[in-house]
Chains A and B, each alone.
Chain A
């Protein structure tokens, strides 16, 4: 779609807002609908949109494969580490109360990092699935 000027310009404008909206959904998750999962999907959708308009190689330059795979693991690790932090600080696993001197602040802090982990893993997995499907025919050549 390289030759469609309108698409290219509009996409460039929209992608920034999509990413911003993802962040809004991410940080608004505690107060309303949203959270790490939805935000992860939206941010991945922005990259997929970029890939659709500008081509897969361009998207792979922006978000390389290794980064996507690292995100898949890193998010889960972050989530689990928050749980371990609860143990280290004297509570049980995934105990947010002990993460801050004020238990309520501790809950907010715990949720914040857990949602960050969800965000990272979900957007990583969405992109990984997209790359796997989109890259299929290029690597293997036509079947017949």
Chain B
């Protein structure tokens, strides 16, 4: 009986955990609850994934109101893949949170931190499972508002400014999205995504469809930090508490990519609006700009967290590049890189959090020789860095291999070279860390550092190992991404 309610429980479990933590007002109880909620969410997501892996579509009617009148949760392989990714990262990061948050967040705010974490998780999962355009907006706001709070809890006073900057840009993004949805609602009279897709072809000669597409594209691009709209990201990631950076970097932008995919390939694809419009060249140009410019900026950062934040912008470029090809290989590369990049960046930011815990800073000029003081942490960063570059046997290689295949399939060999070329920039910034960590004499302050606590090292290393495991055994990730790509390209059903 309970299995038929998995789609809603996916959202409701973390959503109910959050207010319960506020009522209980205890940091330890809140952490326990957050662990329970995150792991339950992971189990539910795994159950849903297995259920739809065969190509089924699960439809759940909130309040028993049939769609398109009521809100429908509609889960196909794309949604399930994303829900699995988000809840997996959340389940690993929450274990890591305990020590990290104890060091970085004032004690009396711990329960609020975990409440926000659970809310953010439920918002992200809600976006992943809902089949309703406005419900999606509500979850977008739940996840965004809670992430502004999480970022503002950072130790550095600049965290407040970063959160404020993200608040302004994120709100503009959400507003643009809702304007676009409003236009579509006026044209089609429905908010259900599947129903909208069915009704859109009849009104596609209307100019408002184009306006709606433009608003949604720009709004969601702001949230996913596409290259010229990424300005909020580096500061937000650099000054947020370490655990928050690891969680958001691995999930928030990925969920926004999903929203984009859903609108482009499910809602708008049937309307013929993409015919005769140079959308692919625009996306390819912006993706290439992200890959090269953001990587180049990353090389010159002094703060390691900021460096990897800029690298995130570059990696999003790979994802959107794959998506812009619009082919099975391209989409597979884009979707599998959602997972692969999440695991890689999760590992990197979690390990950096260990340095931040012991040393209090992650600036290059302060961490010289850290490889000798914190060997496990530093070696983990190097290994995850290899995955970021795309060395064979890592997850990064899998994504880039498919990206290159997709480029060659189009006959654009230069794009394949661009992918490889921008990876060389990643070599440069990862090498910077290697040089500072291993080839500099440790200062007295660094030399007396202890290794990060086990409760942080184990989850972080789990992610590092995942970088290699899923680089060798690609059954779940690549299989899921491939099925998702094919399901998206088939269009609405």
Contact = CB atoms under 8 A, between A and B. Distances in A.
Interface of A: 66, 69-70, 72-77, 80-81, 83-84, 86-87, 91-97
A41 to B, nearest CB: 19
B62 interface: yes
B12 A80 contact: yes
Interface in B1-43: 5, 8, 12, 15-16, 18-23, 25
B64 interface: yes
Interface residues of B, number: 18
Given A76-B18, A92-B61, A96-B63, 20 more contacts: A69-B22, A69-B25, A70-B22, A72-B19, A73-B18, A73-B20, A73-B115, A74-B19, A76-B19, A80-B12, A80-B16, A83-B8, A86-B63, A86-B64, A91-B64, A92-B5, A93-B12, A93-B62, A94-B62, A97-B64
A94 B23 contact: no
Contact of B22 (A73, A84, A94): A73
B60 interface: yes
A110 to B, nearest CB: 9
Contacts of A75: 19
20 contacts: A69-B22, A69-B25, A70-B25, A72-B19, A73-B18, A73-B19, A73-B22, A74-B23, A77-B19, A77-B20, A80-B19, A81-B16, A83-B8, A83-B12, A87-B8, A93-B8, A93-B60, A93-B62, A95-B63, A97-B64
Contacts of B12: 80, 83-84, 93
A3 to B, nearest CB: 36
Contacts, number: 59
A90 B8 CA distance: 14
Contact of B63 (A69, A70, A80, A93): A93
Nearest to B16: A80
B19 A92 contact: no
B15 A95 contact: no
Contacts of A94: 62-63
A12 B128 CA distance: 51
B62 A92 contact: yes
Nearest to A86: B63
Nearest to A69: B22
A77 B23 contact: yes
Contacts of A76: 15-16, 18-19
A83 B63 CA distance: 8
A109 B60 CA distance: 23
A87 B5 contact: yes
A95 B64 contact: yes
A80 to B, nearest CB: 5
A84 B63 CA distance: 11
A93 B19 contact: no
B127 to A, nearest CB: 17
Contacts of B64: 86, 91-92, 95, 97
Given A86-B63, A91-B64, A95-B64, A73 B23 contact: yes
A74 B20 CA distance: 7
B16 A77 contact: yes
Contacts of A77: 16, 19-20, 23
Contacts of B23: 70, 73-74, 77
Interface in B60-91: 60-64
A80 B21 CA distance: 14
A136 to B, nearest CB: 15
Contacts of B60: 92-93
B25 A66 contact: yes
Contacts of B15: 76, 80
A100 B448 CA distance: 67
Interface in B318-359: none
Contacts of A69: 22, 25
Interface string B226-253: 0000000000000000000000000000
Identify the 5 closest CB pairs spanning chains A and B, nearest first: A73-B22, A73-B19, A76-B19, A73-B23, A93-B8
Contacts of B115: 73
B363 to A, nearest CB: 30
